[in-house]
Amino acid sequence: MNNQSYTISSPIPLKTTDKRIDNNHNFTTKLNPYSLSNSPIKSDEDWMRLALSLAYYANGQTGSNPSVGAVIVKNNKLVGMGAHLKQGTAHAEIHALNMAGDNARGATIYVTLEPCCHTGLTGPCTEALIAAGITKVVVALVDKNPNVEGKGILSLKEAGIEVVVGICHHVAQSIHHEFFVSQITKRSYVILKTACSLDGKLALDNLESQWITNEQARIDVHHLRASVDAILTGIGTVKVDNPMLNVRLDGNQKQPARIVIDRQGEIEIETKIVQTAHQFRTILLGQYSAEKKAKLINLGCEVEPYDSLKTIFSWTLKQGLMRVLIEAGPRLVTALLDDDLVDEWVLYQSPRVFGGNQSIYQNIKPSPLDEIKRFEIVNTELIGQDIKILMRQNRKGVTEDNTCLQD
């Protein structure tokens, strides 16, 4: 094992190309010299920002688990680091401990989320930290998972380990936002993606919609797709657009599952989604004749009954699909908004006026105006001549301060 220690030049986020991860989702023991130098980091905030950088770049690939980053420091030198890379594999703390080896004894670990203290698909990280001889644990946020939520911190303190909570918690809150929402709502985190004209139309009245936005915006959508666990659409969109709903980026290996709501079993065998089901995980929700169901399964589709929108997202979370992207027509979009199931909205807007009746939202909201819920604008960005707006719902219990616990 490589026990050589390193210092790091600054707490800037590591580039995605800087990560050293093998095919088994393990961090290698060789750190990238591009990100490392002889100028030491001095504060807890600096080291935690490095851990947050690792968590940030693992976001979107850990299923229903949070993307956590961890950094181990001894005598102000970096001796280990890691991130949780895939559900069912080692957590960030274990990767960092493996890299640190014997240097973990007497060291401090910086971790973006409270270490787990229960056995799930992997063992408790708290026990591993205690056994390795870690003497101080710095945590950005308390875990909202009821199996953890303060219990991990308590077990570390009972073992005589110093625990500090709340370092860089605002940044950590943003990175772990989707996980916290799913823990509170008990369902997948739902992201709505729409592309519209300046007057809020999804298409012309003749249903022509390709392409509303420019090529740069469409490439950005593929990056969004690559960050989620599943893409969900309705049978109407399949009929009109015959989409693939996959990620088409050079070098990309991660593909989200594709889910189609098809209540009456209308999907055609010849559609692209069905014909590529052996290549990309494809889930159809609806009622089918025995003969058609057998054909769909033979082509690689998973067939499940449709119940309701609310139960779909509880089911997807249990399937390990925490981040679900919606790419659908106005009927499904309207239903999701009416049921308050949209947690995040990514809106691409073209500076053109379409007119007509193909609006994003098709119901009429009752008065008074000030009682209509608002989305909170998180970020706006100009992509070519199109506008990208990122919005989120303010879910109760997600953003409240959870950094302090009573001893």
195 marked as part of a ligand binding site: yes
Give CA–CA dist 32/29, Å, rounded. 10
Non-local CB neighbours of 233 within 8 Å, separated by 6+ positions = 243, 245, 258, 259, 260, 261, 326, 327, 328, 332
Known binding residue 335? Answer is yes
Instruction: Of 272, 247, 271, 245, give the one whose Cα is nearest residue 259.
Output: 245
Answer for the pair 108, 77: CB distance below 8 angstroms, yes or no. no
- CA dist., res. 226 & res. 292, Å (int): 31
Per annotation, catalytic residue among 93, 114, 178, 344: 93
Token pair for residue 309? 């929108």
248 marked among binding-site residues = yes
* Contact yes or no for 365/372 (Cβ under 8 A): yes
| N- to C-terminal Cα separation, the chain | 38
379 strand-pairing partners: 390
Query: Does the annotation flag 54 for ligand binding?
Result: no
152 is in an annotated binding site: no
344 is in an annotated binding site: no
Q: Is 70 annotated as a binding residue?
A: no
Q: Has 82 been labeled as part of a binding site? A: no
Is 89 one of the annotated binding-site residues? no
> Is the four-CA dihedral 40, 44, 49, 51 of positive or negative sign?
positive
Q: Mark whether 304 is an active-site residue.
A: no
345 annotated as a binding-site residue? no
Is residue 296 marked as binding?
Answer: no
Q: Which residue has the tokens 């800037």?
A: 12
- Tell me, what amino acid is at 70? A
Judge whether 334 is annotated as a binding position: yes
Binding-site residues from annotation for substrate: 209, 225, 245, 248, 327
The set of catalytic residues is 93
Binding-site residues from annotation for Zn(2+): 91, 116, 125
Binding-site residues from annotation: 91, 116, 125, 195, 209, 211, 225, 237, 241, 245, 248, 327, 329-335
Binding-site residues from annotation for NADP(+): 195, 211, 237, 241, 329-335
